[in-house]
Chains A and B, each alone.
Chain A
Protein backbone atom coordinates (compact mmCIF):
# COMPACT_ATOMS: atom_id res chain seq x y z
CA UNK A 1 0.00 0.00 0.00
CA UNK A 2 2.72 2.46 1.02
CA UNK A 3 4.76 1.56 -2.05
CA UNK A 4 1.72 2.06 -4.28
CA UNK A 5 1.12 5.52 -2.78
CA UNK A 6 4.77 6.39 -3.29
CA UNK A 7 4.79 5.21 -6.91
CA UNK A 8 1.66 7.15 -7.86
CA UNK A 9 2.82 10.33 -6.09
CA UNK A 10 6.33 10.08 -7.50
CA UNK A 11 5.05 9.60 -11.05
CA UNK A 12 2.76 12.63 -10.72
CA UNK A 13 5.65 14.64 -9.25
CA UNK A 14 8.08 13.83 -12.06
CA UNK A 15 5.57 14.17 -14.91
CA UNK A 16 4.24 17.51 -13.73
CA UNK A 17 7.80 18.71 -13.09
CA UNK A 18 8.50 17.97 -16.75
CA UNK A 19 5.34 19.93 -17.50
CA UNK A 20 6.72 22.90 -15.55
CA UNK A 21 9.89 23.17 -17.61
CA UNK A 22 8.44 22.15 -20.99
CA UNK A 23 5.13 24.03 -21.14
CA UNK A 24 5.16 26.96 -23.56
CA UNK A 25 2.42 28.91 -21.80
CA UNK A 26 3.64 30.28 -18.43
CA UNK A 27 0.19 29.78 -16.86
CA UNK A 28 0.32 26.07 -17.69
CA UNK A 29 3.75 25.94 -16.06
CA UNK A 30 2.37 27.49 -12.88
CA UNK A 31 -0.53 25.00 -12.77
CA UNK A 32 1.91 22.12 -13.32
CA UNK A 33 4.03 23.48 -10.46
CA UNK A 34 0.95 23.34 -8.26
CA UNK A 35 0.37 19.67 -9.24
CA UNK A 36 4.02 18.93 -8.40
CA UNK A 37 3.68 20.55 -4.98
CA UNK A 38 0.51 18.59 -4.20
CA UNK A 39 2.19 15.31 -5.15
CA UNK A 40 5.16 16.23 -2.94
CA UNK A 41 2.73 16.87 -0.09
CA UNK A 42 1.45 13.31 -0.61
CA UNK A 43 5.06 12.10 -0.41
CA UNK A 44 5.39 13.96 2.90
CA UNK A 45 2.24 12.28 4.23
CA UNK A 46 3.69 8.91 3.19
CA UNK A 47 6.59 9.66 5.53
CA UNK A 48 4.37 10.69 8.45
CA UNK A 49 5.27 14.35 8.08
CA UNK A 50 1.66 15.53 8.28
CA UNK A 51 2.32 19.07 9.48
CA UNK A 52 4.86 19.61 6.73
CA UNK A 53 2.36 18.38 4.15
CA UNK A 54 -0.18 20.92 5.42
CA UNK A 55 2.44 23.69 5.34
CA UNK A 56 3.47 22.62 1.86
CA UNK A 57 -0.09 23.04 0.56
CA UNK A 58 -0.90 26.23 2.50
CA UNK A 59 2.38 28.10 1.96
CA UNK A 60 3.47 26.76 -1.43
CA UNK A 61 0.24 26.05 -3.25
CA UNK A 62 -1.69 28.76 -1.44
CA UNK A 63 0.80 31.62 -1.37
CA UNK A 64 3.86 31.13 -3.54
CA UNK A 65 2.07 29.68 -6.58
CA UNK A 66 -0.56 32.44 -6.40
CA UNK A 67 2.27 34.99 -6.30
CA UNK A 68 3.77 33.40 -9.42
CA UNK A 69 0.37 33.45 -11.09
CA UNK A 70 -0.07 37.14 -10.22
CA UNK A 71 3.29 38.06 -11.74
CA UNK A 72 2.68 35.95 -14.86
CA UNK A 73 -0.69 37.64 -15.36
CA UNK A 74 0.78 41.08 -14.61
CA UNK A 75 3.57 40.70 -17.15
CA UNK A 76 1.27 39.31 -19.81
CA UNK A 77 0.58 35.69 -20.64
CA UNK A 78 1.42 36.26 -24.29
CA UNK A 79 5.05 36.76 -23.29
CA UNK A 80 5.72 33.10 -24.08
CA UNK A 81 9.34 32.68 -25.08
CA UNK A 82 10.44 31.30 -28.41
CA UNK A 83 12.18 28.07 -27.50
CA UNK A 84 13.60 27.62 -31.02
CA UNK A 85 16.16 30.42 -30.82
CA UNK A 86 19.31 29.56 -28.91
CA UNK A 87 21.49 32.46 -27.75
CA UNK A 88 24.34 30.07 -27.00
CA UNK A 89 24.99 27.49 -29.70
CA UNK A 90 24.21 23.91 -28.68
CA UNK A 91 22.99 25.07 -25.28
CA UNK A 92 19.97 22.80 -25.14
CA UNK A 93 21.63 19.45 -26.02
CA UNK A 94 24.47 20.31 -23.63
CA UNK A 95 21.98 21.03 -20.83
CA UNK A 96 20.09 17.79 -21.52
CA UNK A 97 23.35 15.81 -21.55
CA UNK A 98 24.64 17.34 -18.32
CA UNK A 99 21.28 16.89 -16.57
CA UNK A 100 20.82 13.25 -17.60
CA UNK A 101 24.44 12.45 -16.72
CA UNK A 102 24.05 14.03 -13.27
CA UNK A 103 20.78 12.20 -12.64
CA UNK A 104 22.13 8.79 -13.70
CA UNK A 105 25.33 9.25 -11.68
CA UNK A 106 23.41 10.33 -8.58
CA UNK A 107 20.94 7.44 -8.83
CA UNK A 108 23.76 4.92 -9.31
CA UNK A 109 25.57 6.33 -6.28
CA UNK A 110 22.37 6.12 -4.23
CA UNK A 111 21.76 2.51 -5.26
CA UNK A 112 25.35 1.53 -4.45
CA UNK A 113 25.19 3.26 -1.08
CA UNK A 114 21.82 1.65 -0.31
CA UNK A 115 23.11 -1.84 -1.12
CA UNK A 116 26.12 -1.16 1.10
CA UNK A 117 24.06 -0.63 4.24
CA UNK A 118 20.31 -0.26 4.08
CA UNK A 119 19.96 0.77 7.71
CA UNK A 120 22.50 2.93 9.54
CA UNK A 121 23.98 1.56 12.72
CA UNK A 122 22.70 3.20 15.83
CA UNK A 123 26.19 3.77 17.21
CA UNK A 124 27.12 6.11 14.36
CA UNK A 125 24.18 8.36 15.03
CA UNK A 126 24.78 9.05 18.70
CA UNK A 127 25.72 12.64 17.94
CA UNK A 128 22.97 13.27 15.41
CA UNK A 129 19.89 11.68 16.88
CA UNK A 130 18.45 13.71 19.70
CA UNK A 131 14.83 12.63 19.79
CA UNK A 132 13.95 9.04 19.05
CA UNK A 133 10.50 7.71 18.43
CA UNK A 134 8.88 11.16 18.36
CA UNK A 135 7.62 12.53 15.09
CA UNK A 136 4.43 14.29 16.14
CA UNK A 137 3.38 17.89 15.58
CA UNK A 138 3.75 18.64 19.30
CA UNK A 139 7.34 17.42 19.22
CA UNK A 140 8.02 19.43 16.09
CA UNK A 141 6.84 22.59 17.83
CA UNK A 142 8.81 21.81 20.97
CA UNK A 143 12.03 21.26 19.01
CA UNK A 144 11.57 24.44 16.94
CA UNK A 145 11.02 26.60 20.03
CA UNK A 146 13.81 25.05 22.12
CA UNK A 147 16.69 23.59 20.12
CA UNK A 148 16.23 25.68 16.98
CA UNK A 149 14.86 28.86 18.53
CA UNK A 150 17.73 31.00 17.22
CA UNK A 151 17.29 29.67 13.70
CA UNK A 152 13.58 30.43 14.11
CA UNK A 153 14.28 34.03 15.16
CA UNK A 154 16.73 34.55 12.31
CA UNK A 155 14.16 33.16 9.84
CA UNK A 156 11.63 35.65 11.22
CA UNK A 157 14.11 38.49 10.66
CA UNK A 158 14.84 37.18 7.16
CA UNK A 159 11.14 37.16 6.27
CA UNK A 160 10.72 40.73 7.56
CA UNK A 161 13.75 41.92 5.60
CA UNK A 162 12.48 40.09 2.51
CA UNK A 163 9.06 41.73 2.68
CA UNK A 164 10.53 45.20 3.28
CA UNK A 165 13.01 44.66 0.45
CA UNK A 166 10.29 43.57 -1.98
CA UNK A 167 8.13 46.59 -1.09
CA UNK A 168 11.07 49.01 -1.40
CA UNK A 169 12.13 47.51 -4.73
CA UNK A 170 8.75 47.77 -6.43
CA UNK A 171 7.71 51.10 -4.90
CA UNK A 172 8.00 54.13 -7.10
CA UNK A 173 9.39 57.05 -5.10
CA UNK A 174 6.93 59.98 -4.96
CA UNK A 175 9.73 62.53 -5.07
CA UNK A 176 11.08 60.97 -8.23
CA UNK A 177 7.67 61.00 -9.91
CA UNK A 178 7.22 64.69 -9.19
CA UNK A 179 10.66 65.48 -10.56
CA UNK A 180 9.94 63.46 -13.71
CA UNK A 181 6.70 65.38 -14.24
CA UNK A 182 8.46 68.69 -13.78
CA UNK A 183 11.13 67.69 -16.28
CA UNK A 184 8.47 66.59 -18.77
CA UNK A 185 6.60 69.90 -18.41
CA UNK A 186 9.77 71.91 -18.84
CA UNK A 187 10.70 69.84 -21.86
CA UNK A 188 7.26 70.54 -23.36
CA UNK A 189 7.58 74.28 -22.75
CA UNK A 190 11.02 74.45 -24.29
Chain B
Protein backbone atom coordinates (compact mmCIF):
# COMPACT_ATOMS: atom_id res chain seq x y z
CA UNK B 1 0.00 0.00 0.00
CA UNK B 2 1.97 2.99 -1.22
CA UNK B 3 1.13 6.62 -0.69
CA UNK B 4 1.53 7.35 -4.42
CA UNK B 5 -1.79 5.84 -5.49
CA UNK B 6 -3.70 7.84 -2.89
CA UNK B 7 -2.00 11.06 -3.96
CA UNK B 8 -2.76 10.36 -7.62
CA UNK B 9 -6.43 9.68 -6.84
CA UNK B 10 -6.50 12.90 -4.86
CA UNK B 11 -4.92 14.84 -7.75
CA UNK B 12 -7.55 13.51 -10.16
CA UNK B 13 -10.35 14.42 -7.74
CA UNK B 14 -8.88 17.90 -7.26
CA UNK B 15 -8.75 18.46 -11.03
CA UNK B 16 -12.37 17.36 -11.43
CA UNK B 17 -13.36 19.81 -8.69
CA UNK B 18 -11.45 22.67 -10.33
CA UNK B 19 -13.15 21.91 -13.65
CA UNK B 20 -16.52 22.03 -11.90
CA UNK B 21 -15.73 25.40 -10.31
CA UNK B 22 -14.61 26.81 -13.66
CA UNK B 23 -17.46 25.52 -15.80
CA UNK B 24 -20.70 25.22 -13.81
CA UNK B 25 -22.81 28.35 -13.49
CA UNK B 26 -25.24 27.41 -10.76
CA UNK B 27 -23.86 28.64 -7.43
CA UNK B 28 -24.93 25.41 -5.68
CA UNK B 29 -22.96 23.35 -8.20
CA UNK B 30 -19.88 25.54 -7.64
CA UNK B 31 -20.16 24.93 -3.89
CA UNK B 32 -20.38 21.18 -4.52
CA UNK B 33 -17.25 21.30 -6.68
CA UNK B 34 -15.49 23.10 -3.82
CA UNK B 35 -16.52 20.16 -1.61
CA UNK B 36 -14.80 17.81 -4.07
CA UNK B 37 -11.61 19.89 -3.82
CA UNK B 38 -11.70 19.87 -0.01
CA UNK B 39 -12.18 16.09 -0.02
CA UNK B 40 -9.16 15.58 -2.25
CA UNK B 41 -7.16 17.60 0.27
CA UNK B 42 -8.47 15.31 3.03
CA UNK B 43 -7.31 12.20 1.15
CA UNK B 44 -3.86 13.77 0.86
CA UNK B 45 -3.70 14.67 4.55
CA UNK B 46 -4.70 11.18 5.68
CA UNK B 47 -2.35 9.49 3.21
CA UNK B 48 0.69 11.48 4.35
CA UNK B 49 -0.33 11.10 7.98
CA UNK B 50 -0.36 7.32 7.50
CA UNK B 51 2.96 7.44 5.65
CA UNK B 52 4.70 9.35 8.44
CA UNK B 53 2.85 7.40 11.12
CA UNK B 54 1.66 10.74 12.48
CA UNK B 55 -1.84 11.38 13.83
CA UNK B 56 -1.63 15.08 12.88
CA UNK B 57 -2.81 14.28 9.35
CA UNK B 58 -6.10 12.95 10.67
CA UNK B 59 -6.47 15.90 13.06
CA UNK B 60 -6.11 18.37 10.22
CA UNK B 61 -8.50 16.39 8.01
CA UNK B 62 -11.02 16.65 10.85
CA UNK B 63 -10.52 20.42 10.99
CA UNK B 64 -10.95 20.64 7.21
CA UNK B 65 -14.28 18.80 7.48
CA UNK B 66 -15.43 21.23 10.18
CA UNK B 67 -14.45 24.29 8.16
CA UNK B 68 -16.18 22.80 5.12
CA UNK B 69 -19.38 22.43 7.15
CA UNK B 70 -19.22 26.10 8.22
CA UNK B 71 -18.41 27.18 4.66
CA UNK B 72 -21.38 25.28 3.24
CA UNK B 73 -23.71 26.80 5.83
CA UNK B 74 -22.73 30.39 5.04
CA UNK B 75 -22.38 29.71 1.30
CA UNK B 76 -25.86 28.24 0.97
CA UNK B 77 -27.28 31.14 3.02
CA UNK B 78 -25.71 33.53 0.50
CA UNK B 79 -27.13 31.48 -2.38
CA UNK B 80 -30.60 31.71 -0.81
CA UNK B 81 -30.23 35.49 -0.44
CA UNK B 82 -29.14 35.84 -4.07
CA UNK B 83 -32.11 33.73 -5.18
CA UNK B 84 -34.49 35.81 -3.06
CA UNK B 85 -33.28 39.03 -4.66
CA UNK B 86 -32.73 37.94 -8.26
CA UNK B 87 -34.90 34.84 -8.80
CA UNK B 88 -31.97 32.84 -10.16
CA UNK B 89 -28.59 31.61 -8.93
CA UNK B 90 -26.56 32.02 -12.08
CA UNK B 91 -23.21 33.32 -10.83
CA UNK B 92 -22.48 35.05 -14.14
CA UNK B 93 -25.41 37.39 -13.59
CA UNK B 94 -24.31 38.44 -10.12
CA UNK B 95 -22.11 41.29 -11.32
CA UNK B 96 -23.27 44.18 -9.14
CA UNK B 97 -19.76 44.73 -7.78
CA UNK B 98 -18.02 44.30 -11.13
CA UNK B 99 -15.57 47.13 -11.67
Contact = CB atoms under 8 A, between A and B. Distances in A.
Interface in B29-61: 29, 31-33, 35-36, 39, 42-43, 46-47, 49-56, 58-59, 61
A102 B11 CA distance: 9
Interface in B1-43: 1-9, 11-20, 22-26, 28-29, 31-33, 35-36, 39, 42-43
A21 B16 contact: yes
A72 B31 CA distance: 12
18 contacts: A6-B1, A10-B9, A14-B12, A14-B16, A18-B16, A47-B1, A59-B66, A60-B39, A64-B69, A71-B28, A81-B24, A110-B8, A128-B54, A130-B56, A140-B62, A143-B55, A169-B81, A170-B81
B55 A134 contact: yes
Interface residues of B, number: 70
B45 to A, nearest CB: 9
Given A52-B62, A102-B15, A159-B70, A71 B29 contact: no
A46 B3 CA distance: 11
A106 B63 CA distance: 25
Interface in A63-87: 63-64, 67-68, 71-72, 74-75, 79, 81, 87
Interface of B: 1-9, 11-20, 22-26, 28-29, 31-33, 35-36, 39, 42-43, 46-47, 49-56, 58-59, 61-63, 65-74, 76-81, 83, 88-90, 92
A183 interface: no
Given A56-B65, A106-B11, A162-B70, A47 B24 contact: no
A119 to B, nearest CB: 8
A176 interface: no
B53 A165 contact: no
Contacts, number: 229
B72 A44 contact: no
A55 B58 CA distance: 11
Contacts of B4: 110-111, 114, 118
A143 B31 contact: no
Which residue among B4, B55, B89 has the maximum number of chain A CB atoms within 10 Å of its CB?
A: B55
B73 A67 contact: yes
B23 A17 contact: no
B81 A158 contact: no
Contact of B63 (A13, A36, A151, A163): A151
B33 A20 contact: yes
Contact of B80 (A81, A165, A170): A170
A155 to B, nearest CB: 5
